Amino acid sequence: MLFVPQIKDLAVIDQILQKELRGKKAWDCVYSADSERMAKVQAMRDHDVLFLITTTILERGVTFPDIDVMVLGADDPVFSTSSLVQIAGRVGRKKTRPTGNVDFFVGSYSRRIKRAQAEITIMNRKGKQLKDGK
């Protein structure tokens, strides 16, 4: 999943990817007012699309197996510490792949990002202890 700060960013990223990749479009864009939101999420679950470009609308409540997450502009004010933690929580939700990559792309390394990274580290440590039975 590729998260962007604003709805207007969806079209920009979509156009850049279409230009650079020049092949079959393997992604879709989804946002809160998208009338096809549910169908697009289902297409992702059905592996009809490789990934979704989205806003914070999908930071909670969806689970896709075997995904990684990128957040463009993770230092944008729309991404709070808790939303960054929730977004990172989309990764590693299946027993068959309990890990994955979470990448935050930023212009500046903000306090929100540092706090999110610290919280994610603590939760991962606790999860590992539970898994290991400690």
Q: What is the mean pLDDT of residues 91-105?
A: 81
Helix, strand or coil, per DSSP, at residue 116: helix
What's the whole-number mean pLDDT along residues 116-134?
A: 81
Is 90 exceeded by the pLDDT of residue 132?
no
Q: For residue 114, give Cα distances in angstroms to 15, 75, 123, 134.
A: 31, 10, 14, 27
d(CA 63, CA 89): 9
Q: What is the mean pLDDT of residues 107-128?
A: 88
Q: What angle do CA 37, 40, 45 make, to 5 degrees?
A: 125
Number of neighbours of residue 15 by Cβ within 10 angstroms: 10
2-6, 52-56, 119-123: least confidently modelled range: 119-123
Question: How much is the average pLDDT of 97-126?
Answer: 88
Average pLDDT across the chain, whole number: 89
Q: What is the pTM of this model?
A: 0.88
For 18-75, how does the pLDDT look when each residue is reduced to its tens digit (9 = 90+)?
999 887 889 999 999 999 999 999 999 999 999 999 998 888 878 888 889 999 999 9
pLDDT of residue 45: 92
State residue 134's pLDDT score: 63
For 27, the 3-state DSSP assignment is strand
